[in-house]
Structure 1
Amino acid sequence: MPRIVQLLASPVHRYVGRPADGAAPAPPDELVAEIHVRAGLGIVGDRYFGKPAHREASVTVIAQESLPPGVDLVQARRNILTAGIAVDELVGSVLVLDSGQGPVSLRVRRPANPCAWMDAAIGPGAWRALRGRGGIRCAPLNDGMLRVGPVEFSISG
């Protein structure tokens, strides 16, 4: 059964500067049980919420199947970790997720390509291993809420 495994809404950028310098510390409450999504703006409380440069890619989704065992959103720096949904194949479509509070529609704009930070955050070789499997960047089309747990999903063009 498809699931939302984790949700992240972080007010800070942790990966700034050079990977060799290390990441900034993670805030204590960035992994959350639910997120509030706003159409055209992103996730309330997230570092990209309402930023004009990120409106078309303010919500990121990655499949748990793409990550090494034990790696979570704190390291991967995506917003939504799913299981049972092949998200990397969805560029150009609309992903609709419903965790019980009504559907949230996400226009999948482009891949969320991994960067050199993945080697520092996850481990050596992660950057290459995640190429083509780094998740997706989406624009939210409606307001809604998502929660950790079982999720119904659909895909439209």
Structure 2
Amino acid sequence: MTGVEVLQLLVSPAHRLAGRPADGPAPGPPDECVTRVEVRRGLGLVGDRYYGRPAHRNASVTIMAAEKLPLHIAPDADLRHTRRNILLRGVDIDACVGATISLDSGAGPVTFAVNRPARPCAWMDVTIGPGAQRALRGGGGVRCTPLSDGVLTLGPATFEVVGEPGAP
């Protein structure tokens, strides 16, 4: 088990990065960064735009490592800019593709299947700044499926790989 920190949680009912990046992002709701989130097995984060959507069941939650944020481009870059859901400090989440992980912020462990990388798109150069898409290659986070119900909150947490890539 590894000690990590949940730095930020983003649950947004709205798609902000639709259309062409040159047109700019749509305004987001002021309350999309939350201190607590409910996770539902196979569905995602309650209240999020991808919750329960069949096309996104294997990518309903996106987790990113704070260490990968391109702060040299924008010192204030965070989940509002990357549109990921969970920002962790203390683990290389991008190295966990194919694994099953557990995250426990105090209310009990929540498990996720880490399915694939969350590849950065051209929007990152708009929301963060020029060069952000390139800077985030290999570090844009991971797309996950929740395997259990639970609650995550900001603050200290424990992280564990509970199933190695390729394990049943």
TM-score (norm 2): 0.92
Once the two structures are superposed, what CA deviation does each residue of 1:5-49 show, in whole Å capped at 9, x if it has no partner? 000000000000000000000111000001000000000000000
Structure 2 counterpart of 1:40: 42
The alpha-carbon deviation at position 2 of structure 1 amounts to: 1.2
Unaligned runs of 5+ in 1: none
Matched with 1:95 is 101
| Structure 2 SS opposite 1:151 | strand
Q: Percent of aligned pairs with the same residue? A: 59
TM-score by length of 1: 0.98
Task: Report what 1:84 is aligned to.
Answer: 90
CA distance in 2, matches of 1:107, 1:92: 7
> Cα distance, 1:59 vs. partner?
0.4
1:115-150 Cα offsets, whole Å, 9 max, x none, are: 000000000000011011000000000000000000
Q: Distance in 2 between matches of 1:2 and 1:51?
A: 29
Among 125, 136, 148, the alignment partner of 1:130 is 136
Paired residue total: 157
- Say whether the 8 Å CA contact 2:102–2:111 is kept in structure 1: yes
Secondary structure at the residue paired with 1:36? Answer: strand
| Map 1:18-37 → 2, pairs under 5 A | 18-37=20-39
Q: Which residue of 1 aligns with 2:54?
A: 52
Give unpaired runs (5+ residues) of structure 2: none
1:68 Cα deviation after fit: 2.3
Q: Which moved more, 1:137-146 or 1:62-71?
A: 62-71
Moved over 3 A (4+): none
CA distance in 1, matches of 2:22, 2:61: 27
